[in-house]
Amino acid sequence: MRPTTDITEDMFSQAQAFGEAVLNDTYDRFRKDKRTRFERIYVGKLGEMVVSKYLVHLDIEHDTTTMFEVFEGVENADPFDFAVPSTEETIDVKTAYRPNHSRIMVPCGPTGQWHQMPKDYYVGVKL
């Protein structure tokens, strides 16, 4: 059985507000139109909030202080989505939302996340 959690109206609203606020300030690494970029930012943030809620449910302390921070520019990306202070382990969330999304993708070429900023855990979320 896969773990599940409810998404609240407040979570939807926070993710939407974040997406709208940062759309023009974040690097467009996939060169997509604004609608697609907003969708990815919105869904990614919603996935992070779902994982955070689930970690709370499991009594796993994690740092969310940068969850709504904007990382502007090409080279300035968030180093991880969450850190677990007691172990110093890092977590990165990958969110799938379309019917054909069945796997998480972690960029792993020589300049990809797997090599440049590896995390201790990658969590896949399907909304």
What pLDDT, in 10s, does the model give residues 16-59? 999 998 888 776 666 778 898 899 999 999 999 999 999 999 99
**51-59 long-range contacts, Cβ below 8 Å, gap at least 24?**
51/81, 51/82, 51/91, 51/93, 51/123, 51/125, 52/82, 53/5, 53/11, 54/3, 54/5, 55/82, 57/5
Q: Residues 61-77: what's their mean pLDDT?
A: 77
Question: Structure pTM?
Answer: 0.85
Mean pLDDT of the chain: 85
